[in-house]
Structure 1
Amino acid sequence: MTFTITVQPSGRAFQADTSETLLAAGIRQGIGLPYGCKDGACGSCKCKLVSGSVSHGPHQAKALSEAEEAAGYVLTCCGTAQSDLVLESRQVTEAGAFPIKKMPVRVSSLERASHDVIVLRLQLPAADAFQYHAGQYVEFLLRDGDRRSYSMANAPHTQAAGPQMELHIRHMPGGKFTDQVFGTMKEKDILRIEGPYGSFYLREDSNKPIVLLASGTGFAPIKAILEHMAHKGITRPATLYWGGRRPADLYQAAWIEAQLGVMANLRYVPVVSDALPEDGWTGRTGFVHSAVLQDLPDLSGHEVYACGAPIVVESARREYVAAGLPEEAFFADSFTSAKDKL
């Protein structure tokens, strides 16, 4: 059975049946609902159910609690319509939605960036074959039907120099995909991807100062956003806080230092949580999200773009909103589906 889904305040509508989630139906019909993991784990797609009935599939309580569900909130990534619906949701279509495509890509290089991070570069079929916003991600389509999600680390304008995609892959021992990347994958291998996905990209209609918060390989989409800002001449004040356990986890620190030379509006604050004496670390220590509040106890006038481990993103969201950050000014891409299980 097919139902009509109307999204307020935009008034846009689309059709969904009981065999697909609201998010999947919206994406298929070009409706730019916000989302992140598509897994029922991050809560990025949460919106208000104004009228109608929704049935939820499996999801985590941190994404949608029983109290929130009782208050009329739904997750579009795992909710299916049981009637005509009216949803209240922040739209992401104002910046333009790009078509989602499946395509083959060829491995052009694998560069070891640290002991457990590889920079994977993929050759695309053609320069105009794949359009995306800096900060979005693609999914690798594995042979058994599983998928693995990774953010593009290069901004779209870099395609002009050659149709390539840069991804930062952290090794998770025993992981179906990352064991392949770190073990058997070689140049010229053919992979299949689908995308772009995600609503994590710079909102360019604002002049607020920006906090860019990254943990580990959460730096990848942040790097793409910085490249995009430099290319577009966006001079809003931006501070990058990048956290790792040890200094080597900040695997592209040299790239950032070079960027500081061309972006006068950019500051960089590296934070290390578990440095050893032999590291000789003299910089900031502790949790990276806490370093932001140490420097900026009042975030009411900022926008935050956060990417990395779920515990970092969730803690940042909670503590930053308590520090005055408007909820709608917190944009996040949480690695909720990157467990890369067997």
Structure 2
Amino acid sequence: MPKVLISASTLSHLQRFHLPYLKYFRDRGFEVHAAIPGQEAPEYAQILHTIPMEKSLLSPRNLRAVFLLRGILRKERFDLILTHTALAGSVVRLALFLAGKGNTKTVHTVHGYLFWKGCGGLNTLRYRLPERMLRGVTDCLITMNGEDAAAARSLVRKGGLLFQVPGMGADEDRFRPVSQDARRTAREALSLPETAYVLVYAAEFSRRKNHIELLRAMEQIVREAPQTVLLLCGQGDTLAEMHGEAARLGIEEAVRFLGFRDRMEEIYPACDIAVSSSISEGLPFNVIEAQLCGLPVAASRIRGHTDLILDGENGRLYRPGESGALARIVLEILQSPDRGANLGRRALETVPAFTLKPAFRANTAAYEAALRL
């Protein structure tokens, strides 16, 4: 029986994005292994390898994870290894280098390189160097946006494969426009007034997601539109700091911290516009899911966002660092509901390219091509 190992830095990453792919290999007759932190296996994985990985790439614990994986790889001799997230990609591929690659085929999926145009030389060195060092054991790289696709050309082994795919695929059966009655029900569930103008940002709380810029924009927005409410869905390292920042800016009554939500299809119907102030993305699910619900999206002009949004056509973009520009965009949409509705309708026409069916075809085609190398 052929064997496939699928690895990510968290269980939630596999559960949210990759279950159709685990099922794909199980249905094809593969013995499906998962290598993640924790004791819980994702659905469709037959064998779990608990690997203690730390978020910081240079943590000593990650070195222990490398040597633990080296032993597993020597024993199992997988036919195919699929890695997701920068951390798991580095740890697993280094372990494979130390174990001896043999006939194992390795596919690393880039969910947004941790270096990007304008991120600074130190950040580029810190995160690009490991990718350069590991390219010799990387048979195939899968990217999700144009900037990463260009960067990947020098980060795969000679004769290796490069694919750009439309993400992992959002579920269009879960995310769709709703009726006015459903909108009212969603607002009632969240205790939102019918007259409120509701923004939503679904993202982990981290420096990369840049919530502070959005809060600064909100200060300006509520000054002109005091009925505005911002819903922040997520958890993470900067959550407490952002609570404090909202209070400092005097907008704590306008900002609701909802915690992690795994059923965003119950939140989007209550909203008028989705926003993202992130400084780095791969191909963000939060934008795709909001577009599937017919919401206009206002987002920073960065890779990933620019692959999904054509400014003024199916959404709006602003220059990162300019909270005032974000505030102006939101207020323009607020003051011109027809304009916002048109942006949402146009997004509904463009977003199907990033749903599960086309993404599943593209990703599985890449996996099959890697197996044929």
- TM-score normalised by structure 2 residue count: 0.26
Instruction: Report which of the two structures shows the higher radius of gyration computed on alpha carbons.
Output: 2
- TM-score normalised by structure 1 residue count: 0.27
Higher-strand-fraction structure? 1
Higher-helix-fraction structure? 2
